[in-house]
Amino acid sequence: MVKFSSRVPADGTDAVGSILKAAADPRIISFAGGLPAPELFPVTEMKAAVERAFDKHGRELMQYGAAKGVPALREWALHHVAEKEGIHGELENVLITTGSEQALDLVGKALVDPGDVVLVEQPTYLCAVDVFKSYGAHLVSVAMDNDGMRTDALEETLKAHPDAKLLYTVPNFQNPTGRTIPLARRQKMAELAAKYDLTILEDNPYGEIRFAGQHVPAVKSFDHDGHVCYMGTFSKTLAPGFRLGWIVANKRIVDKLTVLKQSADLHTDNLAQYATVEYVQNNDLDAHVEEISALYRKRKQLMIEGIKKYFPSAVKYTNPEGGMFLWVEVPGVDDTVAVFKECLKNNVAFVPGDPFFAGKPQPGAFRLNYSNMAEDQIEEGLKRLGEVLQKYVK
């Protein structure tokens, strides 16, 4: 018998894997996954970028590369976060990662010893829960309202856990709720991090996919002493398949993460990095992101209209100003997985809320994705969902 480490999840605990597998049946209209709209991938432009990358850097890109990443891509990331988020630094503050998922894992590995307190939003990104758990974190959830994490609750939690090491947050169009934290709360978060010597891991995969409201600057832009690590990714703006992300943090942290990254994969794929540099230098990424946002705006709107039309009126839902997800709360439901199973029979799927909670789950809550289904399927899918929900809400 293999003697697995305590990091390895127990058999039968991959609830989300089973849900996504069940939802993959082509007859099912699935709002379960978190995939971008593939019809907008700039395939032709990227193919040309790959060719140019080979023409210019063929041997370099086929050779081993630097753990911190291709300098031109790090330069791009540095300018990008300065222009979009008001985050200023030097090249030494940037590390290219294999998707932001790797940044999450490296930060978990670098900071978390078994038993350390890690604060997360309630609910939060489920893979972050898995990462921090794998390093033995004692996860403590911080309450949210419609404006994301409540900073009064954060302060109370920090008073109770003054030695908390890390706070993980997705401040823009959070996965799973779609909520966005307003400016004053972000300032407060940065203030509390300095006061309690807490590291904040700010994860921003969705911030640029804004289709309503005003941009809010990153928590990192209010950080004066290196307490905030900021993560970005190309996954939602260009393509998740290239596995390209970046982290901007204080040099000491970046250097430690670089050593850990070397042990994980030596460096991020060179072809993806060089080709992406070519893409951003020769194409208008902002215009591309606007196109994505316009499509998601339309799809989100259709989803909201479907909810209003087909769901029982007691059902609550978020109405995000960007990103890919919205969050539904159905009163009177104790077993969300039972609702999910019934929806599957009706050929429609979502992700039940339970795995997004580090602590006790909120019954009757679930996540809907609106980026990946065509418009006619959104209407039909909401109708099917509504038929099931009507049975649960009296």
Ligand X SMILES: Cc1ncc(COP(=O)(O)O)c(C=O)c1O
Which parts of this chain interact with ligand X (CB under 6 A)?
A: 34, 99-101, 125, 170, 175, 203, 205, 233, 235, 240, 245
Nearest residue by C-beta to ligand X? 99
Nearest CB to ligand X, comparing residues 231 and 315: 231
- Contact present, 166 and 128 (Cβ < 8 Å): no
In the complex, minimum distance from the CB of residue 96 to ligand X, in angstroms, rounded to a whole number:
12
Residue 173 backbone phi and psi in degrees, to 5: 45, 55
- Contact present, 135 and 113 (Cβ < 8 Å): yes
Instruction: Name the token pair of 337.
Output: 């997985």
Q: Which residues pair with 306 in a beta bridge?
A: none
As a whole number of angstroms, the distance between CA 355 and CA 28 comes to: 21
In the complex, minimum distance from the CB of residue 113 to ligand X, in angstroms, rounded to a whole number:
23
Residue with tokens 């996965």: 175
In the complex, minimum distance from the CB of residue 10 to ligand X, in angstroms, rounded to a whole number:
23
The dihedral built from the CA positions of residue 24, 30, 33 and 37, taken in this order, carries a sign that is positive
Nearest CB to ligand X, comparing residues 203 and 223: 203
H helix count then E strand count, the chain: 12, 14
In the complex, minimum distance from the CB of residue 376 to ligand X, in angstroms, rounded to a whole number:
25
DSSP H helices, the chain, are 15-23, 43-62, 71-85, 99-111, 126-134, 151-160, 183-196, 251-265, 270-282, 285-310, 336-345, 375-392
Nearest CB to ligand X, comparing residues 100 and 221: 100
- Contact present, 94 and 77 (Cβ < 8 Å): yes
Instruction: Name the token pair of 108.
Output: 């978990």
In the complex, minimum distance from the CB of residue 165 to ligand X, in angstroms, rounded to a whole number:
19
In the complex, minimum distance from the CB of residue 99 to ligand X, in angstroms, rounded to a whole number:
3
As a whole number of angstroms, the distance between CA 176 and CA 366 comes to: 8
As a whole number of angstroms, the distance between CA 274 and CA 71 comes to: 10
Nearest CB to ligand X, comparing residues 100 and 141: 100
Q: Which amino acid is at 334?
A: D
DSSP H helices, 38-86, are 43-62, 71-85
Nearest CB to ligand X, comparing residues 125 and 392: 125
In the complex, minimum distance from the CB of residue 228 to ligand X, in angstroms, rounded to a whole number:
16
Nearest CB to ligand X, comparing residues 93 and 233: 233
Instruction: Name the token pair of 371.
Output: 């980026």
In the complex, minimum distance from the CB of residue 27 to ligand X, in angstroms, rounded to a whole number:
25
In the complex, minimum distance from the CB of residue 232 to ligand X, in angstroms, rounded to a whole number:
8
How far lies 132's CA from each of 79, 122, 271, in Å? 30, 15, 30
Q: Which residues contact 372 (CB under 8 A, 6 or more apart)?
A: 30, 33, 35, 36, 37, 38, 324
Nearest CB to ligand X, comparing residues 292 and 388: 292
Nearest CB to ligand X, comparing residues 96 and 333: 96
Nearest CB to ligand X, comparing residues 34 and 69: 34
